[in-house]
Amino acid sequence: MDKATHHAEGEGSLIRALDVARAALVEVGEECVELVETTGNGRVTIQPACLDDGESIARALGLDSPVDHRMISPGYTLWSGTREGLEFQVRGALRHPFGGLQ
């Protein structure tokens, strides 16, 4: 097996992460995404063109675990989950959950 075939078939390969990221872009519409970061160890991070769209993009991709980063200025919410065995993250505007700090 040559090196290119070995990497393409690897479970956490960068090529696989790129393929899964591409499918996600097609699903949510690439026009609403500013940046996509992929790693060879199985992580895909999406930065929307408008952070206010982050939650809806995350939910469209089935990501439903938010972590609010309030101590950073400006704050943001990072939505995460798993798609096709890869860790997915979408950055979004800082949410204000009911009863949460504002």
**CATH code of the domain covering residue 73:** 3.30.460
pLDDT band at 102, cuts 50/70/90? low
Among the listed residues 68, 79, 78, the one whose alpha carbon sits nearest the alpha carbon of residue 102: 68
How far, in Å, CA of 88 to CA of 82, rounded?
6
Q: CB within 8 A of 82, min separation 6: which ones?
A: 88
pLDDT band at 6, cuts 50/70/90? very low
Is 98 a member of any domain? no
Is 8 a member of any domain? yes
Is 101 a member of any domain? no
Is 9 a member of any domain? yes
Handedness of CA 54, 55, 59, 65 (dihedral sign): positive
Is 35 a member of any domain? yes
Instruction: Tell me the whole-structure pTM to 2 decimals.
Output: 0.80
Higher pLDDT, 91 or 101: 91
Instruction: Tell me if 23 sits within 8 A of 44, measured CB to CB.
Output: no
For residue 41, give its domain range. 3-93
Is 100 a member of any domain? no
Is 99 a member of any domain? no
pLDDT of residue 7: 45
For 51-95, what is each residue's pLDDT tens digit? 999 999 999 999 999 999 988 888 899 999 999 999 999 999 998
For 27-59, what is each residue's pLDDT tens digit? 999 999 999 999 888 899 999 999 999 999 999
Higher pLDDT, 25 or 71: 25
Domain count, the chain: 1
